[in-house]
Amino acid sequence: MDYIVELRNVRKEYRLGNQTVEALRGASLNVKAGQFLAIAGQSGSGKSTLLNLVGGMDRPTSGEIRVDGADISNLDRAGQDAYRLRKVGFVFQSFNLLHVFTAFQNVEMPLLLAGGMTAGERAKVVHQILADVGLGEKANRKPSELSGGEQQRVAIARAVVKRPPLVLADEPTANLDSRTSTVVVDLIRSLPKKYNTTIIFSTHHEPLMQIADVAVRMRDGNFVDSGAAA
Amino acid sequence: MLSRVRLLVGLAWRSVLAHRGKSLTLSLSFMLNTALLIVIGSVVRSSSQALEHSLTESFVGHLQVYSNGARDTLDMLVTAWTAEQRDSGNLKDYEAVAKVLEQAPEVRGFAPIGIWNANIRINSPLQEKVQALRRLYEREPRGDAAAVIADIRQAAGVMLNHVKAGYGSLARDAAENAGAVQALERAVSDTFWTELEQDPAKGIEFLDTKIVRWAGDTRILRSPVLGVDFEALQKASGRFELVSGKLIPPGVRGILLEHDRREAQARHPVLLALDDLAELLASRGRLSDADMSQRRARLVEMYDLIGLQLPADKVAALRERIRAFDPTLDGELGAQLRGLLAVDNDNFAKRRAFIYEAIAPLLRKYSVDVGDIVSVNSRGRDGAPKSVRATVFGTYRFRGVQMAKHVSYNLVDFATFREIYGEPTAETLAEMAGMRERYGIGAAEGMSKSDEAALFGGAFVVEEELHAGAGGFTALVDSALDEGKSFRKDAAKKAGAATTGDLVPAVVVWLADEHGVEAARARLSAALQSAGVSARVSTWREAASRFATQLSFLQVQIGMGGIAVFLVTLIVANLGVVIATAGREGEIGTLRAQGASRGFVLRLLMCESLILSFLSALVGAAAGVALLAWVGRYGIPAQSPAMEVIFGGPRLFPVLGVAELIGAISATVVGSLIATALPAFEAASTEPQVAMRQRW
């Protein structure tokens, strides 16, 4: 099978003072390319740890993580930086827009960091993607001048602007009202097809589980159906 | 690579603009730092240059050549007390030194100089009058002494009245005081003056021994003297300034008094006290009752210094004027003067103006004045007392260093200096032998006071003319060059010869290029050695080390100020960056999550700091230049005589230098980068997971 993400018996332990906390306890998961995967679970179930590991922001204590065919389990810091830069887009619960920059500048940032494009090329891509998320007219607004839903749409645009094979969304609707959540979820739902990407998002809202291609649950650092394969 | 730099600069610029509140706070600190560094740097450099110019363009010069056999290093800034303590030797072959200096292209000018200690003896006004009386009676035919006698009787009357009116006693001992009163009563009596007509020597001796002593002692002005070739000095020194009188003509013996030293030491005490009080009131507005009472008492005590000098024929008119000025100031002259000098905060200005208008013209404003002939006394290098009579040709100062105690020299011609110095050259010995022969004086070594009077009294027969006014003094100078005055002509030749004689303690050298001091020293040392001259060469910093040390101390102080400003800026910048980056943790975490490496974040923050500090430094530099231009227009006033010396005058006019401009901008930029480095490094260590945790 053609999996974009493969987790094999992944464990993650943290030291909290003298105690060792097991955040992930041998989790295994396969995600097909182009899928929209929802991970549900209560706080502390291991969702965020999983996203951190798949997002190349942390390394597992043991086990293997492969993304787009490459093992990212043991990447050094530079390798992780390069991985995040090229392969992953993030959508955060709190949007994490740079509030001093405009919507355009926020979306442009990953392209700037990745380099290789002229200002004109970047502008074209950014304007297009902002139009795609329905904010073409608000490109020059700062986050403080946008509603919560609009801010999250800017964040989604930023996540996909460099066309990454994988987008990770950490409870993207947690700070939104239900109506706005629906709009944002619809937008996220449309991403795999539109941008040829794969979406993994975490949530603890049951309704969102219904619209995902695959939904998995986590509890105590593992998937409820251990070895869940989407 | 270029695109990465462009990306960094673009992002950093965007960030600087975006965080404009924080940027403005930091930028103000950078601007202030740059402006202050420019001003401080310029003040340090300008004061250094001002003092250097003041010194090198005075008699100190850039370099000094002196004997290799000197026991002490040459010190151009001696005091009256230390001049005799040092032995910097004599150049044995001045001709050879002069030849080397003449051929050196870097030398702008040079002059032989010598420094030694000497005292100028100043007689009290009454003593001067008694001496004038003696000279008049010694003349054939006898001169008209009526006016001088009247003045002496007037002065004696003032002293007598002082005791009788109960203002004070003349002597501590009652018996001695009674004797003084008895002598003064005799001196004012007609009988005494009738007897004096019959036996002048006895009468004048009585005045000299029994009366003059009560009118104040002979005053001694202590000061080092600088023997110098005036022509060379005037040609090479850019700071020599004649304040009053005339320059000593080439080949003529004479003395130029240092202007400020004479103001402080020889000005009439009453006028000096009035001027001091006026200056104090001008600065303070009013004095407290206690302060004013103290100063009033001192002024009143000095009333006799006016009375003793008043010409007898002017006293009646003056008393009338005082009464007209203030009818309450009645009674005898002493009472009137004491009343007049009893000033307070309210009447001071009016009374001072009156004293200057009505009384000062009747007094000798200076105990030694232009045209006077004074005794210059010293203990020569051989230990024997020396005494030279010299005409005061004028007062002078070296602009910029005039307030320095170390630079308060009286200037004498070189022939006079040789005699004070006490190692007579062959020319001097021949000159002295000629004088002895001419005036029939025995071959005794040295000159007694009476010998001197015999020698110079004849030579300076125009002394009375001198006191008659400027015409008299001009006549003296003119006559000094007159063919008919053979003694002076001789002296002129000898004085000129002295500059090429074998007694030259040192030679001051002025360079064409003030920046090439060390190089010129090395070249001249080598040239002197090649010429077989045993001499060493010092620089102005060595020969004026006291000033150089003072300057270094001031520069260190101001430099510390600059460093303090710099450190404060560093701390402010550091705190600013710490606060700014702490508030940007989420932003940095998000950038890291998007793939920005730690190095990229570090470079970004440093680039922001570079842009901000550079732009701020440019604005600060413009402000600093404007501030400096404003300060430069009005000058920084020197707060003390020492500051005046360091400032090279009463005000320092700092000038901007390119080095200060570039240095201040560089210091601000480098300082900001240093201040930013650590917080930026810490900020760059922000883990990308922060973006997940952060709640904005």
Q: Can you give the pLDDT at residue B679? A: 87
Provide the pLDDT for residue B579.
78
C-beta pairs of A142-149 under 8 Å, 24+ apart in sequence: A142/A99, A142/A100, A142/A101, A142/A102, A142/A103, A143/A95, A143/A97, A143/A98, A143/A99, A143/A103, A143/A106, A144/A99, A146/A103, A147/A180, A148/A95, A148/A175, A148/A176, A148/A177, A148/A180, A149/A176, A149/A180, A149/A183, A149/A184
Per-residue model confidence (pLDDT) at position B440: 58
Q: Could you tell me the pLDDT band of residue B469, with boundaries at 50, 70 and 90?
A: very low
Closest CB to A48: pick one of B19, B600, B692. B692
Query: Would you say B414 and B227 are in contact if contact means Cβ atoms under 8 Å apart?
Result: yes
Say what the pLDDT of residue B62 is. 93
Alpha-carbon gap, residue A82 to B529, rounded angstroms: 74
Segments in A26-73 forming alpha helices (H): 47-54
Least-confidence region, from B189-193, B314-318, B497-501:
B497-501
Is B692 within 8 Å of A51 when comparing Cβ atoms? yes
Reply yes or no on whether the pLDDT at B448 is more than 60.
Answer: no
Q: Which of residues 560-589 of B touch A (CB under 8 A)?
A: 586-587, 589
Three-class SS state of B253: coil
Q: Do the Cβ atoms of B18 and A77 come within 8 Å?
A: no
Residue B431 banded pLDDT, cuts 50, 70, 90: low
d(CA B227, CA A188): 100
**Among A126-130, B192-196, B502-506, which is the least confidently predicted range?**
B502-506
Contact state of B11 with A112 under an 8 Å Cβ cutoff: yes
pLDDT of res. A173 = 82
Cβ of A52 and B590 within 8 Å? Answer: no
**pLDDT (tens digit per residue) in B632-681:** 888 888 877 667 777 777 788 888 888 889 999 998 999 888 888 888 89
* Helix, strand, or coil (residue A70): strand
Residue-level pLDDT at A141: 93
Q: Is B692 on the interface with A (CB under 8 A)?
A: yes
Nearest to B378 by CA among B79, B119, B87, B83: B119
Q: What is the pLDDT of residues B372-415, one digit of tens each?
A: 888 888 888 777 788 888 889 999 988 766 556 556 788 998 88
From chain B, pick out residues whose CB is under 8 angstroms from the CB of A23.
none
B213 at interface of A, judged by CB pairs closer than 8 A:
no
Residue of B64, B60, B120, B119 lying closest to B401 (CA atoms): B60
Q: At B425, is the pLDDT very low, low, confident or very high (cuts 50, 70, 90)?
A: low
pLDDT at B493: 36
Minimum distance, in Å, between the CA of residue A100 and any CA atom of chain B: 5
**B692·A170 Cβ contact <8 A:** yes
Q: In this complex, how many residue pairs, one in chain A and one in chain B, have their CB atoms less than 8 Å apart?
A: 82
Residue B499 is predicted with a pLDDT of: 44
Q: In this complex, is the C-beta atom of B85 within 8 Å of any C-beta atom belonging to chain A?
A: no
Percent of chain B surpassing pLDDT 70: 85
The verdict on B9 touching A (C-beta cutoff 8 Å) is no
Note the pLDDT of residue A118. Answer: 87
What is the average pLDDT score of chain B? 81
* pLDDT(B487) > 70: no
Residues of chain A with pLDDT under 70: 1, 225-230
Model confidence at B56, pLDDT cuts 50, 70, 90, reads confident
Chain B residue closest in CA terms to A56 = B593
Whether B322 and chain A come into contact, CB under 8 Å, resolves to no
Q: What chain B residue is nearest to A107 in terms of C-alpha separation?
A: B594
pLDDT at B695: 52
In chain B, residues with a C-beta closer than 8 Å to the C-beta of A112 are: 7, 10-11
Q: Quick one: pLDDT at residue B449?
A: 40
pLDDT at residue B435 tops 70 = no
Q: What is the pLDDT of residue B240?
A: 85
Specify the pLDDT at position B634.
86
